[in-house]
């Protein structure tokens, strides 16, 4: 009964928050989006004021009255200052960095402002992250990266981010809870499992397939913008024959398929975890690897972007379609 | 959400140290020296710990220190209950807290305690300077509080100070409103008072030499504002205490025993006690407000015969004014006085009569003998009084430097030295009268006062302290007799300071007192101006509770909770208005310069033609699009956009005139 009530209240609260603070990747904080309430320290301060008032009353001391009135007014002024420490700040969703399940995924949030006010000690936190405190100098932008607990594979919705400040006196807290429409990719948790990985060498194909690399010289081609300067054939250039880059290739010993069928008897998540672990193990060795999942096939290759492609495929295998737009 | 390990910001440490130092300095007046030394040691210790010179104190250290402080307070004050020991414990506790700031909560506890300690200081002294120091200390403590919430590496002590000063300044208007409107309820329960320190000014006993000491202090005893005109100087006898007991050297108060009818105290607002009618009051009373400086006694001063006119004040059985708790801080009260009066004119009960005639055995044999002889020669008490006054008038000297007296003080003064100050005259007069069988008693208080030329009030200084006598005459009751007036009439009619300003010994104790330079015009007017300020402070700030109702009913007409609430709401928001405006003003959009204004106006005009600028569209693309759609405007548009780009992005120093001219050529619709 009690839990049912609590659930109802929680649902109603979430509905109210969704109505009050609709999700947006770009929000300017103002009086419609900020809440203000005394902190625990603020209530302690109110207690101090009550004690001082009792002293003033019992001793009939007008100077203590005046001091109590001054400290009381300070509390009221603190409401303005704390509110204005957040009001006018623009909150934007930044990049997000994937993580492994059981670890942390990171979400970047950018605060910026056009006004010249110096904002001090603004803390940002998700329900499942440590809080990060930043300050925001006048007319600038600053960003905070929050490490969110990666609880399940796939797209992770971190929920609403709490942006709060108690500056300057710690007596009043101004805060907002924003849905900045961001999500982070969570890869399967790497778990070691034995497998027979198929080593492939297609007939008529040299196992030392040409992969762009740095080890063996392969050819000399016309320079393309963005190629590393260290690969430019400076001797050619000095002889005024134009700008050329030397191309090399890494020797590849083997090509391997990370295959769904290599782990008979494992459940889906366990299989994905095992594949993920194998991928991480192959990474950094002179091996080209590809991925075969039911309905997905990525041909063997090497490199960071290739690895990320495979990890993403593992992360999103058999998950509901993308719920949130991904930057 | 978990909070990361808290590191006390450096600026916060410094400002907390300063807060402790400020509260120590404010309380230095009444704290024992060892406690100040201990607190300073703890402060130095904390700095060493912070800089890593020595380790954090162990639990044993802290237990030892705490118990040492408690023991020290117990030894110093004999008790842990009472205002001073409580403040001493508070201060030692919060200075020791410096040694264990591990979490933000510890820092907050220290800071809140500092606020309390600093404000409680007002229970000891309430001058303008103390108040200013208190505000400065509150500013330091608030700075510490801000510094606690600043971010570690960017924390900047001066930034915090600027912020706290700004916030306190913004808090002032609301503070004034709260101070004026918040109702004063009066004490809710009995609280420990400051242990009665030695009384300042007139005390409850009189020994030869006491008043000569007072003549050396220029301090103000109290100030009086009369509702009507000020009465004549010679009638200003501020009655404080009645001394009926004599032990051969010292006159003191009699215990309040023996009276059988009704209560001994008649509080303001209470039903009249049966003995109240023993005083016949005739004519219109004088009404006045007295602002008493701390005297550490519970006796108040009023002209005879008084009646209290403010709450918390009582009339005593011997028709003086009295307050329940000793006056340790400035106190303001109102009183009525009937200068035309008779006290107990009909009959003095035999037991009272015997008390007012009692003399110790074995003192002043010669005076007793002479008194008995004179009584036989002059049986009428009134004539006897005159005869003694005539004797004084003949060859007595009123002086600030009287010779010292031995065992038989009255004998030696009356028949040998004949040089004395007011207490010599009053004491010897009462002794003589009692020896002659006329009930008499000593009254101490102040006589006269200095009229403030502009302030419309009267200053009574400590050197105005005076002692005189009252004799009981059948049919007239207690009659005031001032033997000093017989010797030195000018002392009573002008003022003490005028009378003695030339004599050696006046204000001996304070060689630099401004009163010493009364004859120098500008110093005197400076002194009086300073006093006016101090009086205004005492009257409007320290004594505000007695004026509050008058002021509020003048604003509201009728004072009730509803109207008070409305007033608080209205005045409070009025007080916050400038602050709100000041703070919110900076939220306005950044002001665009002339160049942007021209371009935006161009965009608006184009929008009216249905060619609004798209989001993210650069000026050049925009111009191209319009030129495409409205070829007839193309030259003007390109001229304007080219100028705009050149002005905006080139370093060109061209003026904006060309741009504005280009804008003029664009049609308005």
Interface confidence (ipTM) of the complex: 0.79
| Spatial strand order in the sheet of B299-300 | B265-267, B313-316, B321-323, B299-300
Instruction: Mean pLDDT check: name the lowest of A16-25, A160-169, B370-379, B489-498.
Output: B489-498
Judged by CB atoms within 8 Å, which residues 99-118 of B form the interface with A? 108, 112, 115-116, 118
Strands B419-420 vs A296-301: parallel, antiparallel or unpaired? unpaired
**Which of A52, A55, A61 lies at the smallest CB-CB distance from B329?**
A61
Distance from CA of B418 to the nearest CA of A (A): 47
Q: Which residues of B touch A169 (CB under 8 A)?
A: 142, 145-146, 149, 167
CB contact under 8 A, B4 and A130: yes
Residue A302 makes CB contacts below 8 A (sequence gap 6+) with A211, A250, A252, A287, A288, A289
Q: Which residues of B touch A160 (CB under 8 A)?
A: none
Q: Which residues of A touch B11 (CB under 8 A)?
A: none
Confidence of residue B592 (pLDDT cuts 50, 70, 90): low
**Which of B116, B134, B184 lies at the smallest CB-CB distance from A52?**
B116
Res A324: pLDDT: 46
Residue of chain A nearest B161, judged by CA positions: A168
How far apart are alpha carbons B173 and A78 in whole angstroms?
A: 14
Q: Which two tokens stand for residue B94?
A: 């919060």
Report yes or no on B117 lying in a domain. yes
Res B126: pLDDT: 85
How far apart are alpha carbons A162 and A175 in whole angstroms?
A: 7
What does the mean pLDDT of chain A come to? Answer: 83
Res B655: pLDDT: 63
Res B131: pLDDT: 92
Looking at the 3D structure of chain B, how many domains does it have? Answer: 2
**Which of B175, B179, B590 lies at the smallest CB-CB distance from A114?**
B590
**Which of these three, B147, B181, B215, is where a domain ends?**
B181
CB contact under 8 A, A130 and B329: no
Q: Say yes or no to pLDDT of B586 above 60.
A: no
Report yes or no on B120 lying in a domain. yes
Q: Say yes or no to pLDDT of B82 above 90.
A: no
Higher pLDDT, B288 or A25: B288
Distance from CA of A137 to the nearest CA of B (A): 11
CB contact under 8 A, A170 and B580: no
Give the bridge partners for A99, in sequence order: A186
**Which of A45, A130, A167 lies at the smallest CB-CB distance from B149?**
A167
Report yes or no on B361 lying in a domain. no
How far apart are alpha carbons A77 and A72 in whole angstroms?
A: 9
Res B669: pLDDT: 67
Nearest CA among A229, A63, A285, A166 for reference residue B544: A63
Mean pLDDT of B420-437: 92
Q: Say yes or no to pLDDT of A281 above 90.
A: no
How far apart are alpha carbons B45 and B64 in whole angstroms?
A: 15
CB contact under 8 A, A77 and B120: no
User: Cβ–Cβ contacts within 10 Å for residue B146, how many?
Assistant: 29
Which residue is listed with tokens 């006898």? B237
CB contact under 8 A, B184 and A57: yes
Instruction: Mean pLDDT check: name the lowest of A232-241, A315-324, B209-218, B625-634.
Output: A315-324
In this predicted model, what pLDDT tens digit does every residue of A187-217 receive, in sequence order? Answer: 999 888 877 666 654 444 444 444 444 555 6
Higher pLDDT, B660 or A33: A33
Higher pLDDT, B259 or B354: B354
**Which of B122, B145, B590 lies at the smallest CB-CB distance from A61?**
B122
Give the long-range contacts of residues B643-647, CB within 8 A, separation 24 or more. Answer: B644/B595, B644/B598, B644/B599, B644/B602, B644/B619, B645/B619, B645/B620, B647/B595
CB contact under 8 A, B145 and A68: no
Portion of chain B with pLDDT greater than 90, in percent: 27
Q: Inform me whether the C-beta atom of residue A32 falls under 8 Å from chain B C-beta atoms.
A: no
Report yes or no on B488 lying in a domain. no
Residue A157 makes CB contacts below 8 A (sequence gap 6+) with A183, A323, A324
Q: Which residues of A touch B170 (CB under 8 A)?
A: 77, 80
**Which of B108, B178, B543 lies at the smallest CB-CB distance from A73?**
B178
CB contact under 8 A, B583 and A69: no
**Which of A41, A65, A77 lies at the smallest CB-CB distance from B182?**
A65
Q: Inform me whether the C-beta atom of residue A64 falls under 8 Å from chain B C-beta atoms.
A: yes
Instruction: Mean pLDDT check: name the lowest of B313-317, B461-465, B589-593, B631-635.
Output: B589-593
Q: Which two tokens stand for residue B662?
A: 């280009």
CB contact under 8 A, B175 and A130: no
CB contact under 8 A, A71 and B115: yes
Q: Inform me whether the C-beta atom of residue A313 falls under 8 Å from chain B C-beta atoms.
A: no
CB contact under 8 A, A51 and B1: no
Q: Say yes or no to pLDDT of B652 above 60.
A: no
Residue of chain A nearest B151, judged by CA positions: A121
CB contact under 8 A, B119 and A130: no
Report yes or no on B457 lying in a domain. no
Higher pLDDT, B72 or B502: B72
How far apart are alpha carbons A190 and B224 in whole angstroms?
A: 90
**Which of these three, B181, B213, B234, is where a domain ends?**
B181
**Chains A, B: CB contacts under 8 A, how many?**
166
CB contact under 8 A, B187 and A60: yes
Give the long-range contacts of residues A214-220, CB within 8 A, separation 24 or more. Answer: A214/A248, A214/A250, A215/A248, A215/A249, A215/A250, A215/A251, A216/A248, A216/A249, A216/A250, A216/A251, A217/A246, A217/A247, A217/A248, A218/A247, A218/A248, A218/A249, A219/A246, A219/A247, A220/A244, A220/A245, A220/A246, A220/A247
Q: Inform me whether the C-beta atom of residue B90 falls under 8 Å from chain A C-beta atoms.
A: no
Residue of chain B nearest A120, judged by CA positions: B150
Residue of chain A nearest B540, judged by CA positions: A62
Count of residues in chain A: 327
Q: Inform me whether the C-beta atom of residue B435 falls under 8 Å from chain A C-beta atoms.
A: no
Res B668: pLDDT: 76
Q: Which residues of A touch B151 (CB under 8 A)?
A: 120-121, 133-135
Residue of chain A nearest B327, judged by CA positions: A59
Mean pLDDT of B17-35: 91
Judged by CB atoms within 8 Å, which residues 576-605 of B form the interface with A? 576, 579-580, 583-584, 586-587, 589-590
Instruction: Mean pLDDT check: name the lowest of A265-269, B405-409, B613-617.
Output: B613-617
Distance from CA of A180 to the nearest CA of B (A): 18
Count of residues in chain B: 669
Q: Which residues of B touch A65 (CB under 8 A)?
A: 179, 182, 184, 544
* H helix and E strand count, chain B: 23, 22
**Which of these three, B181, B196, B214, is where a domain ends?**
B181
Mean pLDDT of A277-305: 83
Instruction: Mean pLDDT check: name the lowest of B276-285, B495-504, B524-533.
Output: B495-504
Q: Which residues of A touch B182 (CB under 8 A)?
A: 65, 69
In this predicted model, what pLDDT tens digit does every residue of B152-196 receive, in sequence order? Answer: 555 567 888 999 999 999 999 999 999 998 888 877 877 777 665
CB contact under 8 A, A58 and B329: no
Judged by CB atoms within 8 Å, which residues 171-210 of B form the interface with A? 171-176, 178-179, 182, 184-189, 191
In this predicted model, what pLDDT tens digit does every residue of A86-137 receive, in sequence order? Answer: 988 999 998 899 999 988 999 999 999 888 788 888 999 998 888 898 888 8
Beta carbons of A174 and A83 less than 8 angstroms apart = yes
Strands B419-420 vs B397-398: parallel, antiparallel or unpaired? parallel
Give the long-range contacts of residues B585-594, CB within 8 A, separation 24 or more. Answer: B586/A115, B586/A116, B586/A117, B587/A84, B587/A87, B587/A88, B587/A115, B589/A114, B590/A114, B590/A115, B594/B656, B594/B659
Angle between helices B33-51 and B83-96 (to 10 degrees): 10
Q: Inform me whether the C-beta atom of residue A133 falls under 8 Å from chain B C-beta atoms.
A: yes
Q: Say yes or no to pLDDT of B433 above 50.
A: yes
Higher pLDDT, A322 or B634: B634
Res B94: pLDDT: 85
Helix, strand or coil, per DSSP, at residue A265? coil
Mean pLDDT of B115-136: 91
How far apart are alpha carbons A157 and B495 in whole angstroms?
A: 89
Q: Which residues of B touch A147 (CB under 8 A)?
A: none
Res A51: pLDDT: 95
Res B1: pLDDT: 40
Report yes or no on B247 lying in a domain. no
Burial class (CB in 10 A: 0-12, 13-18, 19+), B567: middle
Res B390: pLDDT: 92
Residue range(s) defining the domain that contains residue B36: 10-181
**Which of B148, B191, B589 lies at the smallest CB-CB distance from A58?**
B191
Distance from CA of A291 to the nearest CA of B (A): 38
The set of catalytic residues of B is: 422, 466, 482
Q: How many angstroms separate the most distant Cα atoms in chain A? A: 104
Nearest CA among A140, A67, A75, A81 for reference residue A110: A140
Distance from CA of B667 to the nearest CA of A (A): 33
Q: Say yes or no to pLDDT of B411 above 60.
A: yes
What HEC string does A121-156 produce? EEEEECCCECCEEEEECCCCEEEEEEEEECCCCEEE
Judged by CB atoms within 8 Å, which residues 169-188 of A form the interface with B? 169-170
Q: Which two tokens stand for residue B413?
A: 């003064």
In this predicted model, what pLDDT tens digit does every residue of B440-490 receive, in sequence order? Answer: 999 999 998 888 887 788 989 888 899 999 999 988 899 999 999 888 888
Name the strand (E) or helix (H) holding B102. none
Beta carbons of A165 and A123 less than 8 angstroms apart = yes
Beta carbons of B224 and B285 less than 8 angstroms apart = no
Beta carbons of A127 and B2 less than 8 angstroms apart = no
**Which of A45, A68, A168 lies at the smallest CB-CB distance from B146?**
A168
Confidence of residue B439 (pLDDT cuts 50, 70, 90): very high
Going from the C-alpha of A149 to that of each of A33, A126, A183, B188, the distances in angstroms are 26, 9, 12, 55
How far apart are alpha carbons B456 and A98 in whole angstroms?
A: 82
How far apart are alpha carbons B527 and B529 in whole angstroms?
A: 5
Report yes or no on B637 lying in a domain. yes
Report yes or no on B109 lying in a domain. yes
């Amino acid at each position: 009964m009690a839990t049912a009530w609590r659930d109802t209240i929680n649902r109603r609260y979430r509905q109210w928050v969704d109505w009050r603070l609709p999700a947006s990747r770009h929000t300017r904080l103002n009086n419609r989006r900020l809440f203000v309430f005394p902190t625990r320290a603020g209530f302690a301060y109110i207690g101090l004021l009550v004690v001082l008032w009792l002293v003033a009353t019992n001793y009939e001391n007008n100077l203590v009255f005046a001091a109590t009135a001054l400290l009381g007014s300070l509390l009221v002024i603190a409401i303005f200052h704390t509110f204005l420490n957040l009001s006018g700040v623009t909150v934007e969703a930044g990049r997000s960095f994937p993580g492994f399940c059981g670890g942390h995924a990171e979400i970047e949030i950018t605060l910026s402002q056009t006004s010249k006010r110096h904002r001090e000690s603004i803390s940002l936190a998700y329900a499942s992250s440590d809080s990060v405190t930043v300050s925001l100098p006048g007319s600038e932008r600053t960003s905070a990266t929050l490490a969110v607990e990666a609880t399940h594979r796939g797209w992770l919705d971190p929920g609403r981010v709490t942006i709060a400040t108690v500056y300057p006196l710690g007596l009043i807290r101004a805060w907002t809870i924003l849905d900045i429409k961001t999500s982070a990719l969570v890869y399967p948790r790497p778990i070691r499992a034995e497998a027979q990985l198929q080593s492939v060498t297609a007939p008529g194909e040299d196992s030392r397939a040409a992969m762009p690399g740095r080890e063996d010289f392969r050819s000399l081609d016309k320079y393309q913008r963005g190629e590393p300067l260290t690969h430019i054939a400076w001797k050619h250039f000095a002889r005024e024959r134009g700008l050329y880059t030397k191309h090399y290739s890494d020797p590849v010993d083997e090509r391997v398929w990370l295959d769904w069928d290599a782990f008979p008897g494992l459940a889906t998540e366990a299989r994905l975890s095992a594949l993920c672990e194998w991928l991480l193990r192959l990474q950094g060795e002179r091996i080209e690897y590809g991925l075969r999942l039911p309905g997905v096939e990525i041909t063997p290759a090497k490199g960071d972007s290739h690895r990320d492609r495979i990890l993403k495929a593992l992360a999103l295998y058999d998950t509901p379609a993308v719920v949130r737009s991904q930057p | 959400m978990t909070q990361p390990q808290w590191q006390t910001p450096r600026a916060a440490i410094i400002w907390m140290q300063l807060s402790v130092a400020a509260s120590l300095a404010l309380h230095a007046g009444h704290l024992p020296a060892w406690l100040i030394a201990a607190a300073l040691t703890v402060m130095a210790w904390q700095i060493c710990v912070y800089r890593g010179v020595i380790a954090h104190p162990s639990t044993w250290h802290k237990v030892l220190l705490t118990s040492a402080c408690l023991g020290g307070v117990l030894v110093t004050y004999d008790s842990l209950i009472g205002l001073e020991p409580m403040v001493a414990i508070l201060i030692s506790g919060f200075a020791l807290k410096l040694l264990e700031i591990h979490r933000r909560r510890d820092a907050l506890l220290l800071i809140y305690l500092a606020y309390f300690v600093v404000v409680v200081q007002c229970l000891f002294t309430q001058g303008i300077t103390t108040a200013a120091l208190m505000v400065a200390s509150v500013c330091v403590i608030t700075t510490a509080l801000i510094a606690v919430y600043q971010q570690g590496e960017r924390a900047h002590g001066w930034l915090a100070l600027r912020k706290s000063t700004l916030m306190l300044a913004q808090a002032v208007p609301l503070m004034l409103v709260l101070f004026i409107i918040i109702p004063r309820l009066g004490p809710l329960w009995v609280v420990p008072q400051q242990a009665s320190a030695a009384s300042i000014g007139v005390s409850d006993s009189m020994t030869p030499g006491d008043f000569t000491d007072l003549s050396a202090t220029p301090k103000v005893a109290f100030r009086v504002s009369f509702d009507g005109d000020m009465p004549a100087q010679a009638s200003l006898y501020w009655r404080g205490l009645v001394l009926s007991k004599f032990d051969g050297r010292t006159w003191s108060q009699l215990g309040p025993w023996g009276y059988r009818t009704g209560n001994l105290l008649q509080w303001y607002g209470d039903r009249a006690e049966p003995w109240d009618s023993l005083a016949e009051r005739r004519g219109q009373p004088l009404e006045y407000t007295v602002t008493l400086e701390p005297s550490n006694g519970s006796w108040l001063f009023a002209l005879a015969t008084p009646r209290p006119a403010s709450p918390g004040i009582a009339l005593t059985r011997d028709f003086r004014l009295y307050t329940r708790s000793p006056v340790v801080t400035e106190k303001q009260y109102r009183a009525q006085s009937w200068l035309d009066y008779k006290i107990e004119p009909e009959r003095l009960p035999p037991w009272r009569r015997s008390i007012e005639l009692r003399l110790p055995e074995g003192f002043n044999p010669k005076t007793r003998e002479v008194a008995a002889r004179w009584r036989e020669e002059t049986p009428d008490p009134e004539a006897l009084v005159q005869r003694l006054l005539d004797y004084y008038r003949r060859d007595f000297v009123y002086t600030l430097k009287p010779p010292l007296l031995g065992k038989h003080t009255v004998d030696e003064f009356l028949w040998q030295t004949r040089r004395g100050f007011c207490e010599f005259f009053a004491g010897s007069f009462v002794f003589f009268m009692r020896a002659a069988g006329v009930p008499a008693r000593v009254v101490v208080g102040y006589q006269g006062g200095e009229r403030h030329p502009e302030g419309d009030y009267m200053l009574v200084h400590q050197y105005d302290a005076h002692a005189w006598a009252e004799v009981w005459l059948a049919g007239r009751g207690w009659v005031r007799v001032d033997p000093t007036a017989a010797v030195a009439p000018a002392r009573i009619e002008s003022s003490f300071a005028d009378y003695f300003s030339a004599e050696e010994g006046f204000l001996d104790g304070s060689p630099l007192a401004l009163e010493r330079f009364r004859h120098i015009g500008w110093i005197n007017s400076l002194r009086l101006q300073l006093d006016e300020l101090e009086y205004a402070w005492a009257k409007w700030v320290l004594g505000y509770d007695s004026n509050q109702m008058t002021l509020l009913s003048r604003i509201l007409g009728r004072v009730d909770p509803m109207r008070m609430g409305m007033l608080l709401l209205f005045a409070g928001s009025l007080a916050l208005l400038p602050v709100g405006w000041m703070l919110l003003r900076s939220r306005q959009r950044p002001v665009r310069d002339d160049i942007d204004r021209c371009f935006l106006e161009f965009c608006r005009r184009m929008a009216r033609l249905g060619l609004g600028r798209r989001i993210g569209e650069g000026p050049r693309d925009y111009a191209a699009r319009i030129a495409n759609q409205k070829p007839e405007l193309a030259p003007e548009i390109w001229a304007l956009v080219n100028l705009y780009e050149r002005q905006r992005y080139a370093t060109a120093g061209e003026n904006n005139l060309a741009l504005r001219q280009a804008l003029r050529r664009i049609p308005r619709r």
